[in-house]
Structure 1
């Protein structure tokens, strides 16, 4: 009897406990977060309301939970429910900075288990400040706000390691990641954070990946082409490492080194392109990363080696080893392969492409203008898609001359008055080599903004700095040169040793000695009174003929017509490995 009574009492206690639990009122778990004290938040504030029980989803609507402005106008917020959590997301355009609002949680919100209403309605006032929110970056790339401040400086003062600062839904400072240039226009990069014309270095194509370094309220510091540069906040998008869906990378196989470019705005990869031979220190089928295509790091950020693409930095003043007939044979084979691929872009390429039988013209230009014929051909291949582009077919324009990022449209209704139109392919090739010699490749015209060293180069040095907004224009053309050279027997590859000036103000002389005054033997000097150009990193091609003096180097002349070797002292040149 006693035993049964005890069991009955225990059962009754359990039932009563269960009833108390089932019929307990619905409450907000973290009520302190929703006190009547006005809170300053960012314009993209998402309110997270956690209840003590799962809520009845049908009780959640814009009538039961909503936000009013100071004029009692209901805001276009978004609601989502998951178990006992309700999210109140800001309007798509965000709340208006400086304005006050109230979050209303009515007592019509019900518990899913007991159907009980919220024990009491809540009104939470908040004010939008100028959106400098310190946030934690989540593993999935999203972020959670920690606190909001009126200025960048104040937010930065409270920033902890691995946290970021968000302003109006946009990252403005982060621990590490990528910087994507504007998806709609060329982004200007600068050598200094003043953003004045004198420090404007070059333009970078739309949706280009740059490496993030640091940021302030006024600028974003990036690493591009091996050097630190500056861009404006309004021209770029900051993407923390955790939020990135991809990344540009390099990988090697038996054919050589490939580069695959990622575009963060579109979330797409370009097709891989071949640059050159595989650097000896890279493993096959392993991804590596580099901002300049020369210094490579592994997935852990450890530097594994340095090597430069040979054809990207060889002097255009060096002639190719191949004859007009050999160049013609290569062109014919390439066009035939593409025509037979079935790709409609290359339909009838063997008869329609103006590259067909260009060998004699290329060699003539090489001899007359002292610019490598294979470089001219590879530039045409890259810029005109093997002569099949609209401009090549209709405007006799193989090199994109006068075709800018804002003037790239092409019509089959040819405008012969356009600066993009040439009366013949011969005139077009001549215009290219004259343009290169006058502005890009003449050390005696070093003060011209287009001169940045005699090589294809990248966005640090060479023609690529100003010729093209694509930061990989130089390496892509170098890849075409490498492929052509390999197909023709590899006679050009590594024929010369390469280096860079080790300091600014390097002099190049006509003999291995220094003479001054009336007998000054300086052929040219990498020197300007004031410049942002990397004259301390100018590409140098060394002659295959040894200098008569051991402390001097014999180098290939950069001058437009003089084929005679020149000289500079050993310490002026940093020798580099090439691939």
Structure 2
């Protein structure tokens, strides 16, 4: 018995490119061999007809259309409109990978679906950086993409345990597609022809693709007589031990049975004893189990697909997680729970010649990428060892034993501070370390560094708007690819403002000069993110998803870490003048008032409503009553300094301070 689908296959009728065919009969599905199945999907709103009233079940499907179908069928999409991110819902990695396809242009209807498919690890494109969106999808490509979607949803099949392909034309299946074909034929999702051929290069029609999606979803969300199952877990599979009517019954049984590791619902793990959670779609983290916004809470970050979260607990519909030291809740539909025995890898930190390097693991593709050198490694780190952290500061061994708490200076530096570097020194770095000399970037061979000469603008904004020049430069390098991006070159836009919702180029703001772009960014960041009264304020630091700009500025959970990494590398090259220049502390309570002298005689000049906010410590002052106060750099730009009672500030432990 097939479970009715609740959602897949996006509308294919609204695209002008698909509306030019000659109108057919009022209903061309009547009498079709798979009429019943397609009508079932139409009743659910999954497949819709065209504007002329036709269904066109025999219409062939393109690669772009198929990518969109896969993403929606297996619920891997990115609902970018569900968050207030200024930079959109996609991670920088997914947008960059999609933009690299020469024939996938921002603004086309298929840009978002292809970006979503890239994010989920479903598509890679062709070797010459093209995707060929309008080319018809063939059977072997279809098999590979669906196989990857099953993997992204946690359905792991050991291909060695499946029957070898015995089609008479097996040799014509490309090597990179054979595993996908073998897995899907093993599952019965795709079958051969009556003459025992597979015909891997044949195209597919709408009714064929619909059947594949239905069968694939049956594997991911199979019907059960009883909704919940308590299961054992091995490296490659789960095995149901007992079925239960309710989640609570299954969880209680699992907790009392030492051999049972997880609770499943329709073949999806919804609770486990130990493991990690990985997002499989754009995900918002809410402050309560109700999964609704709390207007009093500043903690409501969002992250892209393939972000690791610390698993704490779960209900039948929600998962309690920890992200960057903060607790929150997500829908069980947007995360994949991976029990410890099933972990194929996990993100970690390591030391490289005294520097800290972060390796990120993609649970969909099973591969690692590095964010590069991001700062000083804690002195406790040993070469060759892997260290794990959920907030980039508290590190443990693989066994969970705490090693050290060690924060990165530039990641926690309040950004109203001043850099020690001159405009000339910043330009020297831009000239000396430009990575694209004589290389092609955005269709242009670069013989000079385009940002050289901008050092004076970053220093001007530092003095004029009290925002760190080294940070502004690092932010611009990160967002504009050292000034080589098309938006930077055509629109003089170094920070990507306006470039959202999959139409980055057309929606990006235009500026007359780089200076104008830098000043606009300084104003926006100051008012929105660095001011205690700003709408996106979570502390005046780069931070992560628990504190600072990264909570709301970008979906990438390591955006703040990456910008801080740029600052560290620039500082290292120019002489280490900025590293540990200021003494840093952090607040231990909220709300916390900051005053214009070391007393309560006057009203506060600003109040911090967030705990754990880093501050620059200037000196200690003894009040008239003998109490110790801290003089700190003020977050209110009308004041150079502010005072806060010493009981509410602790020193921030920094790496190799």
Tell me the TM-score normalised to structure 2 length: 0.63
For the pair 1:399 / 2:495, whether they are aligned, the reply is yes
Deviations 1:193-218 (A, max 9, x none): 11112267111122211121111113
**Contact 1:557/1:566, CA 8 A, preserved across alignment:** yes
Partner Cα distance (2:403, 2:219) in 1:
48
**What does residue 170 of structure 1 align with?**
268
**What does residue 387 of structure 2 align with?**
288
**What does residue 532 of structure 1 align with?**
none
**What does residue 6 of structure 1 align with?**
none
**What does residue 309 of structure 2 align with?**
210
Q: CA deviation at 1:375?
A: 0.3
**What does residue 462 of structure 1 align with?**
548
**What does residue 322 of structure 2 align with?**
223
**Contact 2:220/2:266, CA 8 A, preserved across alignment:** no
Partner Cα distance (1:394, 1:510) in 2:
46
Change in CA separation of 1:77 and 1:267 when aligned onto 2, cut-off 3 Å: closer
Change in CA separation of 1:498 and 1:98 when aligned onto 2, cut-off 3 Å: closer
1:182 to 252, 259, 280: 280
Map residues 36-435 of structure 1 onto 2, 5 A cutoff.
92-94=216-218, 128-138=224-234, 140-159=235-254, 160-161=257-258, 162-183=260-281, 186-198=282-294, 201-335=300-434, 337-339=435-437, 342=439, 344=441, 348-351=445-448, 353-404=449-500, 406-407=501-502, 409-410=504-505, 415=506, 418-435=507-524
| More divergent stretch after superposition (452-461 vs 160-169) | 160-169
**What does residue 547 of structure 1 align with?**
621
Partner Cα distance (2:403, 2:321) in 1:
22
Does the residue aligned with 2:243 lie in a helix, a strand or coil?
A: strand
Q: CA deviation at 1:290?
A: 0.3
**What does residue 654 of structure 2 align with?**
578
Higher helix share goes to which structure? Answer: 2
Q: CA deviation at 1:131?
A: 3.5
Choose between structure 1 and 2 for higher RCO, CA contacts under 8 A separated by at least 6 residues.
Answer: 2
For the pair 1:476 / 2:562, whether they are aligned, the reply is yes
Does the residue aligned with 1:166 lie in a helix, a strand or coil?
A: strand
| More divergent stretch after superposition (193-202 vs 226-235) | 193-202
**Contact 2:220/2:268, CA 8 A, preserved across alignment:** no
Higher strand share goes to which structure? Answer: 1
Change in CA separation of 1:366 and 1:346 when aligned onto 2, cut-off 3 Å: farther
Partner Cα distance (2:604, 2:250) in 1:
55
Does the residue aligned with 2:594 lie in a helix, a strand or coil?
A: strand
Change in CA separation of 1:514 and 1:97 when aligned onto 2, cut-off 3 Å: closer
Q: CA deviation at 1:272?
A: 3.5
Change in CA separation of 1:461 and 1:249 when aligned onto 2, cut-off 3 Å: same
Q: What count of residue pairs does the alignment treat as equivalent?
A: 442
Change in CA separation of 1:481 and 1:97 when aligned onto 2, cut-off 3 Å: closer
Partner Cα distance (1:348, 1:542) in 2:
46
**What does residue 53 of structure 1 align with?**
none
**Contact 2:539/2:548, CA 8 A, preserved across alignment:** yes
Does the residue aligned with 1:537 lie in a helix, a strand or coil?
A: coil
**What does residue 526 of structure 1 align with?**
608
Q: CA deviation at 1:348?
A: 4.0
**Contact 1:251/1:258, CA 8 A, preserved across alignment:** yes
Q: CA deviation at 1:344?
A: 4.8
Does the residue aligned with 1:179 lie in a helix, a strand or coil?
A: strand
Does the residue aligned with 1:403 lie in a helix, a strand or coil?
A: coil
**Contact 1:258/1:273, CA 8 A, preserved across alignment:** yes
Deviations 1:374-399 (A, max 9, x none): 00000011111211222222222211
Does the residue aligned with 1:339 lie in a helix, a strand or coil?
A: coil
Change in CA separation of 1:373 and 1:346 when aligned onto 2, cut-off 3 Å: farther
Unaligned ranges ≥5, structure 1 = 1-43, 46-57, 59-74, 80-89, 100-127, 528-534
**Contact 2:498/2:504, CA 8 A, preserved across alignment:** no
Partner Cα distance (1:182, 1:292) in 2:
20
Q: CA deviation at 1:493?
A: 0.5
Partner Cα distance (1:302, 1:95) in 2:
38
**What does residue 65 of structure 1 align with?**
none
| More divergent stretch after superposition (238-247 vs 545-554) | 545-554
Q: Which has the larger radius of gyration?
A: 1
Partner Cα distance (1:209, 1:471) in 2:
9
Q: CA deviation at 1:419?
A: 4.7
For the pair 1:556 / 2:642, whether they are aligned, the reply is no
Does the residue aligned with 2:301 lie in a helix, a strand or coil?
A: strand
**What does residue 97 of structure 2 align with?**
none
**Contact 2:220/2:267, CA 8 A, preserved across alignment:** no
Cα RMSD (Å) of the superposition? 2.8
Unaligned ranges ≥5, structure 2 = 1-153, 156-165, 167-186, 192-213
Deviations 1:128-177 (A, max 9, x none): 32431111001x23111111122212211221245201111211111111
For the pair 1:538 / 2:613, whether they are aligned, the reply is yes
Deviations 1:291-345 (A, max 9, x none): 100000011110111011100111111110011111111110111x4315x5656
Tell me the TM-score normalised to structure 1 length: 0.72
